[in-house]
Amino acid sequence: MMMSEEELDAYRQSGEKVRVVRDGIRDNDVRGIVIAWDDEHVLIRRPNRNVAKLSRSYIIQPSKDPRIDPLEQSELVEPDAGQEQG
């Protein structure tokens, strides 16, 4: 689920560092501050001052919070999808 405009604006205004979780590997996370976004992408300024353009469909969370593993989230959703009721 994409992050809302209001949530992104709150991160931009506060200057709070965020973590963008792209996959199950922690080293692939992007940390920095939100500087801009459009309908599909978000721009994150990294500590080395480089800017990363990333999809808004990735998990975006405060950097200080424990990391959300996208693989664990999908495992929680999948079992219910395959069950038949009756």
> For residue range 30-82, what is the model confidence (pLDDT) as tens digits?
999 999 999 999 999 999 999 999 999 999 999 999 998 888 865 554 454 45
Model's pTM, two decimal places?
0.79
Question: What single DSSP character describes residue 44?
Answer: E
Angle at Cα 49 formed by Cα 3 and Cα 5, nearest 5°? 15
Residue 36 forms part of a structural domain? yes
Give CA–CA dist 63/73, Å, rounded: 18
**Whole domain around residue 74: which residue ranges?**
5-81
Residue 24 inside a domain? The answer is: yes
Residue 86 resides in a domain = no
Domain tally for the chain? 1
Residue 30 domain-assigned? yes
Is residue 12 domain-resident? yes
Q: What is the CATH number of the domain that holds 25?
A: 2.30.30.100
- Maximum CA extent, the chain: 56
